[in-house]
Chains A and B, each alone.
Chain A
Amino acid sequence: MIEAPTRPLLEVTNLAKTYHLNKSLMQRLSRQPILDLKAVDRVSFSVGSGETLGLIGESGCGKSTLARTVLRLHEPTSGSIVFDGIDITKLPYRGMTALRRRMQIIFQDPYASLNPRKSVLDIVGLPMAIQGIARRADIRDRVVAMIESVGLKSAHLGRFPHQFSGGQRQRIGIARALILNPSFVVCDEPVSALDVSVQAQIIALLGSLKRELGLTYLFISHDIGVIGHVSDRIAVMYLGDIVEIGPTRELLRAPKHPYTKALLSAVPQIDAGPKRERVKLTGDVPSPLSPPKGCKFHTRCPFAFDRCRVETPVLRPQRAESSAACHLLEAS
């Protein structure tokens, strides 16, 4: 269990999400082996109030599933989620409704995340209408204020998503997530689908909104440059596990886990000068349907030894509030 520097707003303990892939009637009758996809495999972390926790990992590592499970958009298989002192793990969908005002999400795909048949007013106003906290006229005023604060104009209210550029659509998605004044926002790859110049605009916007509104972010990205700039702490995921977590500077300066090292050294840098020592990985990420035994990273790890193939390492505290899960670190 890693303590966040401030009072934790969100505490996740041993959270797991498993998808049973072939559970249709026919497949059960034909006695096929049940395929379990452990998208998130007993993960623990906490996010302090006002903090940004960056979550990084490659595609299929389970970072998006983790974020959605934390918000109870997907049902957790086991473990617990405590939000601001309330255990929300088992709350029914309706019981979650009031809490959803305080926890929101910004999605990756600015094309899929906005209903193409709805106007900006309807999209951004939906959370208020669902939560029933304002009359129609008030909703309109609030929506205007909200979209202006994310850099759109009130003239945009009646327009439809297809009439906006990718960056503007992402602003609409941000306005929708923030209109209920949440305290906790999951940013699920909010800039990955955008061009670099637009990406920088959105990162700047998310930063200033955080300062103004005192938000807490769980910020997911596969781009270390972006994560490094927005996060206070970073958690690195590989095949459903958090393999390393720690303060941003510490983790980027002195990564502990071989996977983190490889990830950091693989990022092409525009700066000349001394390069990070390259930790080259070979081969592909194994299928999460049949993850390797022992340490899941041992098939690609240049430092793997016998123990890694049998025993699963656990997350252990290292220097300076960081933790990593690797047998090598224990040995030394």
Chain B
Amino acid sequence: MSTALEAPAVAIERIETPTWQSIRRFAADGFSMTAAVVVVLFVLMAALAPWLAPHDPYESDLLRRLQPPAWMEGGEWSYFLGCDALGRDILSRIIYGSRVSITIGVAVVLIATVVGTVLGLAAGYMRGWVDIAISRVIDILLGFPYLIFAIALMAMMGPGLENIILALVYKEWVVPARVVRGEVLAAREMEYVEAARAVGAPRFHIMFREILPNILSPVIVVSTIRMAHVIILEASLSFLGLGVQPPTASWGSMVADGRAFILDAWWVCTFPGIAILLLVLSINVASQGLRDAFDPKFSD
């Protein structure tokens, strides 16, 4: 019955690639677009931190210890969000802290997506022992709680930016790998794949030229959703003291530092918390919009 009630198809004269259509749909969605703009602002903030931050994030001034935000009694406009227990400017530390969150979020998701996509393609298209091996590893990794797995790895490898990225990638690739494998299993039965086989196309061509472009949209959508997740994980690790080491500013460690003063100086942990919330929320909203825009159900 659905076919009967859909609007009759109308040919579109403009020449547009399916990808461009999706992007146009995304741009037309105001809410998601706003979220995407917020994410871009955060990225710009990270990139331009040295020029944007009003103060040196590492310079402590014990006279300003736990100084409240500008609008409260005892606050100062030049230290807009107040200062932490060591008298460092919270706004500047948040601006610098975005570098850690975004670097780790982007790096982990990028590496995990590339690794996961290649392994998922191999498992889904080649089947046989390749599939069995990759799928079993995925099953085993899925059995570990993520955070505990990361904590264990960090304890073994020691702290540091590269190690956080590594520790998170170890498990994160599983997500795109599973998505890709499932999509490939469906796509390999499509007639256009058979058509390529019917002219003798090599396996590599079929995997990377015929199938991959068609499964990229769900992968991109999942990756953006996972980026929010990875940023929270990094904050959690830093909160637990296993992340980036002091004095480097990280939102997670800032929240941890402020925890002790939450009743007397709420601003120390609240503002980095809001920063995490805002970035993660924006990424999630934007990725919802991406999913709607790329979902083939909505394409025409």
Say if the two chains contact directly (CB < 8 Å). Answer: yes
User: Is B214 in contact with chain A by the CB < 8 A criterion?
Assistant: yes
Given A115-B214, A165-B11: A126 in contact with B18 (beta carbons within 8 A): no
Chain A residues with CB under 8 A of B132: 25
Given A113-B191, A114-B192, A160-B16: A100 in contact with B200 (beta carbons within 8 A): yes
User: Is A22 in contact with chain B by the CB < 8 A criterion?
Assistant: no
Given A97-B200, A100-B200: A105 in contact with B195 (beta carbons within 8 A): yes
Q: How far is the CA of A12 from the CA of B201 in the complex (A)?
A: 25
A163 touches B192 (CB 8 A): no
* From A68, A113, A158, contact of B192 by CB (8 A): A113
Given A158-B15, A162-B300: A73 in contact with B194 (beta carbons within 8 A): yes
Chain B residues with CB under 8 A of A225: none
How many chain B residues touch A (Cβ–Cβ < 8 Å)?
27
Question: B219 CB to closest chain A CB, in angstroms?
Answer: 14
A109 touches B191 (CB 8 A): yes
User: Is B34 in contact with chain A by the CB < 8 A criterion?
Assistant: no
Within 8 A of B (CB), among A148-200: 158-160, 162-165, 173, 176, 180
User: Is A69 in contact with chain B by the CB < 8 A criterion?
Assistant: no
User: Is A216 in contact with chain B by the CB < 8 A criterion?
Assistant: no
User: Is B199 in contact with chain A by the CB < 8 A criterion?
Assistant: yes
User: Is B24 in contact with chain A by the CB < 8 A criterion?
Assistant: no
B201 touches A126 (CB 8 A): yes
Question: B22 CB to closest chain A CB, in angstroms?
Answer: 11
Chain B residues with CB under 8 A of A73: 194, 197-198
Q: How far is the CA of A112 from the CA of B299 in the complex (A)?
A: 15
Q: How far is the CA of A308 from the CA of B299 in the complex (A)?
A: 53
User: Is B196 in contact with chain A by the CB < 8 A criterion?
Assistant: yes
Q: Mark A99-123, 1 if CB is under 8 A from B, else 0.
A: 0100011011100111111100000
User: Is A137 in contact with chain B by the CB < 8 A criterion?
Assistant: no
How many chain A residues touch B (Cβ–Cβ < 8 Å)?
36
Question: B17 CB to closest chain A CB, in angstroms?
Answer: 6
Within 8 A of B (CB), among A115-142: 115-118, 126-127, 130-131
User: Is A301 in contact with chain B by the CB < 8 A criterion?
Assistant: no
Chain A residues with CB under 8 A of B200: 93-94, 96-98, 100, 130-131
User: Is B30 in contact with chain A by the CB < 8 A criterion?
Assistant: no
Q: How far is the CA of A217 from the CA of B208 in the complex (A)?
A: 32
User: Is B210 in contact with chain A by the CB < 8 A criterion?
Assistant: yes
* From B18, B190, B191, B201, contact of A130 by CB (8 A): B201
Chain A residues with CB under 8 A of B202: 130
Chain A residues with CB under 8 A of B17: 117, 160
Q: How far is the CA of A57 from the CA of B202 in the complex (A)?
A: 33
Q: Which residue of B lies closest to A112 (CB)?
A: B191
Chain A residues with CB under 8 A of B205: 130
Spell out B's residues near A (CB within 8 Å).
Answer: 9, 11-12, 15-19, 132, 190-192, 194-202, 205, 210, 213-214, 299-300
Provide a sorted-by-A list of 29 A–B residue pairs whose CB atoms are within 8 angstroms: A73-B194, A96-B200, A100-B200, A105-B195, A105-B198, A107-B194, A108-B191, A112-B192, A113-B190, A113-B194, A115-B213, A115-B214, A116-B18, A116-B214, A117-B213, A126-B195, A126-B196, A126-B199, A126-B201, A130-B196, A130-B205, A160-B15, A160-B16, A162-B299, A162-B300, A163-B12, A163-B15, A165-B9, A180-B199
9 tightest A-B CB contacts, nearest first = A97-B200, A113-B191, A127-B199, A117-B213, A115-B192, A107-B191, A100-B200, A112-B191, A130-B201
